[in-house]
């Protein structure tokens, strides 16, 4: 699997982890955890765009 596929897989994982963290953690941890997952997703999206396209 190429590096770009790995990065895309992490982005998909970020999406999957959103409801999972809500179910398992709840409360503030889930609330700000979602924001953190979204930021990781955003950083990877921009990294892929600037590095590969």
For other proteins, the binding residues in 1-53 under the rule CB under 8 A are 14-15, 18-19, 22-23, 26-28, 30-32, 34-35, 37-39, 41-43, 45-46, 48-50, 53
The CA-to-CA distance between both ends of the chain, in Å, stands at 18
Q: Give dist(CA 29, CA 52) in Å, integer.
A: 33
Count of residues that interact with other proteins, criterion CB under 8 A: 26
| Radius of gyration from C-alpha coordinates of the chain | 13
Q: Please give the structure tokens belonging to residue 42.
A: 């955003």
Residues within the interface to other proteins (CB under 8 A) = 14-15, 18-19, 22-23, 26-28, 30-32, 34-35, 37-39, 41-43, 45-46, 48-50, 53
């Amino acid at each position: 699997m190429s590096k770009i596929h790995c990065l895309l897989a992490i982005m998909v994982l970020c999406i999957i982890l959103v409801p999972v963290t809500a179910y398992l953690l709840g409360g503030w941890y889930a609330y700000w955890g979602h924001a953190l997952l979204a930021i990781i997703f955003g950083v990877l999206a921009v990294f892929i765009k600037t590095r590969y396209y």
